[in-house]
Structure formats: C-alpha cells, structure tokens
Amino acid sequence: MDDDTPQGPDANDHRSRKVPSSRAGRIGAFGRLAGGVAGGMLAEGARQLSRGERPRLRDAMLTPGNAKRLADRLSHLRGAAMKMGQMISMDAGDMLPPELADILARVREQADRMPPNQLRDVLDKEWGKGWLGRFAKFNPRPIAAASIGQVHRAVTKDGRELAIKVQYPGVKESIDADVDNVATLLRISGLLPRELDFSPLLAEAKRQLHEEADYEREGAEMMRYRARLEGHDDFLVPAIAEEFSTGRVLAMDFLPGKPIEVLDEAPQDERNRVTTAIITLVLREMFEFGVMQTDPNFANYRFQPDTGKLVLLDFGATRDVDPVIAEDYRKLMAAGLAQDRDGARKAALEAGYLPQGAVDNHADRVNLMIDTIIEEMNRAGPFDFGDRGFVSVLRDEGMEMAADKSTWHIPPVEMLFVQRKISGTALLGARFKAKVHVRDLVRPYVESVPLKA
C-alpha cells in the first residue's frame, strides 16, 4: 500500500453507490426495475407493430435497453440478486441465449462500492466507534467488490497486513426476497420454462446464500482448508484475524497475488501445471476431503508469479459432498474411461443427470452425446482444453432435445453444486488452453469401480 493512499473512510470514491439496505428500499428497487423493463417492452412491442410484425415477449424483454437496466439494477442491489446472476452465468455457459448471456456477463463484471459514510456506519456497528485507531493504515477504497461484500486492505498497529471483507448492509436479511424477485423477473422474460418446478433449486440457492452471508462460518471453513493444504507446494490459504472478525466482517492475512488471468500469457507448461493442480484439488475435494468449495469464480484464485503458488480465497460456498453424489461421479468417470457407452448412460440415469424422457425419445442423440464425451476422454495424449469443437456438438444436440418437453428436468440439487465447480474448472482450463493428462489424474479414483471387460 502506497504511503499516500488515503486513510480512513472519508476518502473520495467516485464509483461508490449506496446499497439499498432496508426491505422497503430493496422492494422499491425491484419495482423500479420491473417498471423500467415493462416500459421498454411496451416501446419495443410498439416498434414491432409499426413494422407489421407480431410482438414476441422474449424479443421485447431482451432489448439492449432492458439488458442495461437489468445489469445495472442487479449490480446496484448486489447481494443475492447479483449472486444469482453470477451463478447462472457461470453455470449455464454455452447453453444460454446470447442476449441473456450478455446481461449476466455485465452483472458478473459490475460491482458498485459502498460510499464512505455507509462503510463507516457498517464498521461502527461491527467494531464500535473509534475503530480506525486500531489500525496503522486502513484503505477506504476496496481492492475488490463483489456480490455480498467488498474487501479492504489494512495494516494493524503491530504491522500485520490484512484483507478485510465487509458485508453490504441488508443483503443477509434480503436473501429470500431477492432470490424470489430475480426468479420472477426471469420467468416474466420467458427464459425459465413455466413447466419446470424450480422451487427446490431456489430453496437450495437461498440456503447456500444464507451460509455465504455468515462470515463466522466462512472463517471456520477457511481455516479447515488451510489445515488440509498446509505445506502444499501449489496452494496458499490465508489465516483468519479473529480479533477483527464478526458475522459480517471477515479479516484475514493479506496474501499478495495477481489475478489468475495473468496466466493467459504464461508459457504453455506453466498453464498446464496450474490447471493440473486445480483439477487435482477438485478431485481431492470430491473423493478425499468430502468437502468442496463450490464457487468456481476466477476471482477466488490469485497467482503469485514469484512462488508459482495459487492463493485460494472465498470459502463461503463450501459444502459437504454427498457420498452418493461422489459415487455417481466415480461411476460416470469409470464408464467413460472404459469407453462403455451403455454403462455411462446407465450411470447418468441413476444419478439423475440424464432424464428418462431423453433416453426414451432421443436415443440416437443421447448416444451421440455420450460417444462424443467418451471420444474426448480417451483421445491420445493430454486433454486439450483449448479445443472446444466438441462443445458445439453437445450444445446443438442438447438444444434439439430441449424442444421436447419430456426431456426437461432439474438434476439433484447436490449434483448441480458439484457440477458447477467442475464446469467452472473446465472453463478456466479452456481460458488457459491448458493441456492436461486428465485420465492419469482421474484413474486412481475409479479403480475401485468394476469396468467393462
């Protein structure tokens, strides 16, 4: 931190915007958003009519103006509203309509900061007035701002450098209502099929978001991960500063590092090594730890060029891995490595990953998708994450099947959270164009499963 960095929460921050913290304020914000979107829809519908076209709800909803309104308002609300946008964007990947993908990409990239007076009010409540006197330095400009909180850098009187995550006011109390409101907006847009019951998924999203908003829980999970990875050559995990941590403030050691995206320009061997380390950790989480940090956001990794290590951050989304889910993945991987199409289809059905309607009515498409995955898994040499040709095959076949409502289903919620981490890790590998011997990493975990002769 530079010596001339403004100290104390009164420093100017022109990018700040007050977070609506009251229930009425957040409901009003959603109301204004709905009104603005409705106005945009009416205007677009009128334009279509003037051209002699029949207005379509989806086209009217996903105008550039409405996309900007949605992204801006969800970023302003932050909390569960913004988090859901991030989750859907990361999870759905190539399967999203391009218009919705653009909206959610904006939400993922935007995060307003609390203005200085709101930050001061939050810390006064958590630490008591006069808290600034406990620090030699406190940077009021956050070094990171996300969906639930923002992070500040500070130095204690005894010289300990800290990263201090401060939760936005009102987000914890608004989680349930925010999730319901975002779901309503997506349903109005026609992007969530009315025929599917999303209530179990929404209930689980609320539960996880409540856990993520509990910073005492996150601090405990962080320390458990630190113990698991103690002395590891590839990873570092910060230690909690308990004297500054509360349910809404999480203080930890500041570990220097650069955004993991700096590896985009790293030599191929380095990109391969880092991706291999992350995949290995995911496998250990599933099959050894029985616990997984399920948020694959790239911002949760920081890279240290000098040491070659990754700093792991944000353990709010840590959850136990159901042994049944781990066993389902073990069977799927075993069948894939054995090039056993029937076994893979059976394992996917039993896990609830694949709906029976798809097998009954689209056997050829299902077989093509399974064969495509098996071929990629068993291609000679390392798996090339930069070669995304097979993704278009899976997307096209999946979209064709999706036209048949008998194929619509929601996999088990526990599986979705694990799959989210797996998919996010694959996206990171694709970004780095990494080449990894995935089969060698997976094989030790599937040896206990009988393979096809």
Element (H, E) at 259: strand 258-259
- Report the C-alpha gap between 175 and 287 in whole angstroms: 31
Residue found by looking up tokens 């929460």 in the block: 9
Distances in whole angstroms, Cα of residue 409 to Cα of each of 193, 225, 349: 10, 34, 12
- Rounded CA separation 214/417 (Å): 19
Q: For residue 287, give the DSSP letter.
A: I
Q: SS3 of 69, please?
A: helix
Residue 309: closest CA among 239, 256, 240, 253: 256
Reduce the DSSP state of residue 318 to 3 states and report it. strand
Angle formed by the axes of helices 413-432 and 268-284, nearest 10°: 170
Structure tokens at 298: 């790239």
The alpha carbon of 2 is separated from its chain's Cα centroid by a whole number of angstroms, namely: 32
Q: How far apart are CA 344 and CA 272, in angstroms?
A: 28
Nearest residue to 283 via CA among 333, 213, 336, 227: 333
**Is 320 known to be catalytic?**
no
Amino acid, res. 326:
A
Which parts of 293-339 fold into alpha helices (H)? 323-337
- Please name the amino acid found at residue 385: F
**How many residues are given for the chain?**
453
Among 13, 214, 295, 328, the one annotated catalytic: 295
Residue whose structure tokens are 């569960």:
80
Are 436 and 275 in contact by the 8 Å Cβ rule? The answer is: yes
Place of tokens 């009003």: 28
Backbone phi, then psi, for 128, in 5-degree steps? 90, 155
Beta bridge partners of 162: 154, 253
Distance CA 360, CA 376 (A): 25
Alpha carbon of 299 to those of 196, 342, 424: distances in Å? 32, 39, 12
Cα-based angle 48, 54, 56 (whole degrees, multiple of 5) = 85
Any idea which residues carry the catalytic annotation? 295
